[in-house]
Structure formats: structure tokens, C-alpha cells
């Protein structure tokens, strides 16, 4: 019985270490960009590691993608910075304005 409880606790903490919180508003933890998608409506979806959870991404990409919508005035600059971070392996933090993971700002870390 103690072994079952111990494994459950270890599994809970291990899973928690692999996920970045997504219930905005607020900044995500520093993460690596693992996937960028330009959607049919001109927006961008971004996937991070550690994974986001509970997002409602545009174009149905799933709960681990945050979204930059096409009407965002800085979408081109955000896209170029995310791509640069992805290619260089730099970490980013995203500012999510709501629990659906709508991105409004990014920070790139050394």
C-alpha cells in the first residue's frame, strides 16, 4: 500500500514538472519553443516545452498551444522573435491574457 501511495506522489510531481501553467492571465514559466504554426486565418499557434495545459487554441490545434491572433498589432515581430528563439534554443516566457492562452507579449531569455 505504501508503495502505491509513493508511486502516485512521484508520478504527480513528475507530471507537474513537465507542464507550464496555462490558466492566465500571467506569464508562463521560461520554456523552449517546440512548434510554430501559421494558421489559415493568419494567426500563429505556439507550443512550448514544458507543455501548456487547458488552452483553447485557434483552428483547433489543441490544449497545449497558445495563440497569437491575426489582429494583434505586433504579430509579425512576435513571430520573428519566436522563430529566432526556436532556432537558437533560447527560452521564452509568454504573457497570456486569459485562460484560453491568448498571447499578448513575449520575453526571450538567455
pLDDT digits (tens, 9 = 90+) for 62-79: 999 999 999 999 999 999
Helices (H), 38-99: 75-88
Domain 20-109 in CATH 3.40.50.970? The answer is no
- pTM of full prediction above 0.85: no
Domain ranges for the chain, please list them. 20-109
The whole-angstrom separation of Cα 10 and Cα 12 is: 5
Which residue, among 106, 40, 110, has the nearest Cα to 79 in the 3D structure?
106
Q: What would the pLDDT profile of 82-93 be if each residue is shown by its tens digit?
A: 999 999 999 999
- For the chain, residues with pLDDT lower than 50 are 8-17
C-alpha cell read off for 60 = 483547433
Question: How many whole angstroms separate alpha carbon 73 and alpha carbon 66?
Answer: 17
Amino acid at each position: 500500500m505504501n508503495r502505491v501511495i509513493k508511486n502516485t506522489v512521484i508520478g504527480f510531481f513528475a507530471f507537474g514538472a513537465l507542464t507550464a501553467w496555462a490558466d492566465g492571465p500571467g506569464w508562463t514559466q521560461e520554456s523552449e519553443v517546440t512548434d510554430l504554426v501559421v494558421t489559415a486565418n493568419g494567426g500563429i499557434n505556439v507550443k512550448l516545452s514544458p507543455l501548456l495545459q487547458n488552452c483553447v487554441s485557434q483552428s483547433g490545434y489543441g490544449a497545449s498551444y497558445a495563440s497569437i491572433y491575426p489582429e494583434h498589432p505586433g504579430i509579425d515581430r512576435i513571430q520573428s522573435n519566436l522563430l529566432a528563439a526556436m532556432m537558437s534554443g533560447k527560452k521564452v516566457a509568454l504573457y497570456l491574457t486569459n485562460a484560453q492562452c491568448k498571447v499578448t507579449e513575449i520575453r526571450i531569455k538567455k
